[in-house]
Amino acid sequence: MVSKTTVPSSNLGIRANNNIMERNDNINAIKMKFEAEKLKLKEERERMIRNHWENLPKINTPEDVPILPRADEKEWKEFYVPKLIEAGAIPKKDLVNGQIYIGEHRNTTIARWNQETNKFVHMRYKFGWREDECNHFEDDDGFALFVPIKLGTQEEWDERIK
């Protein structure tokens, strides 16, 4: 006759608890590894963006304007704004009231400077053509900014809304 060995139920509970704790430790180790890799990739991406901006090529067309990164106010004003100006963007101090400029904004490549409101006016198609405003890239307000790169003409402005 073969006898069965029985394990006291208290030992089963301890084993189950140990298995759960071991599984949780494994999950936490995987999470920590994932977070470390995520941080490493983020730092690498930031380094690549910074390197691109340190060697920013000349801006000749609106398509040449780089994607504007999110940065704190100090870094934006002390690093990114001067780099845009070095590459050919027109500084705010050089803008002429009523002048049309070619540049880059998420909704347009042409805008008119309004010194009174301290903003660019541009035409935008949203349920029909309408005027909209946006800031110069030196005045980051958290919304899309216009980066002017050269003077535009009234004909180019009119062509925009045809």
pLDDT, tens digit, 9 for 90 and up, residues 31-41: 888 888 988 99
What is the rounded CA–CA span in Å between residue 2 and residue 34? 50
Q: What are 60-105's pLDDT values in tens digits?
A: 999 999 999 888 999 999 999 999 999 999 999 999 999 999 999 9
**CB-based burial of residue 68 (10 Å sphere; 0-12 exposed, 13-18 middle, 19+ buried)?**
middle
pLDDT of res. 79: 95
Higher pLDDT, 144 or 27: 144
**CB-based burial of residue 88 (10 Å sphere; 0-12 exposed, 13-18 middle, 19+ buried)?**
middle
Domain ranges of the chain: 7-55, 62-160
Output the six-digit token pair for 68: 């504007």
pTM: predicted TM-score of the whole model, two decimal places: 0.75
pLDDT of res. 6: 56
Assess contact for 105 and 75: CB atoms under 8 A.
no
Output the six-digit token pair for 85: 């100006």
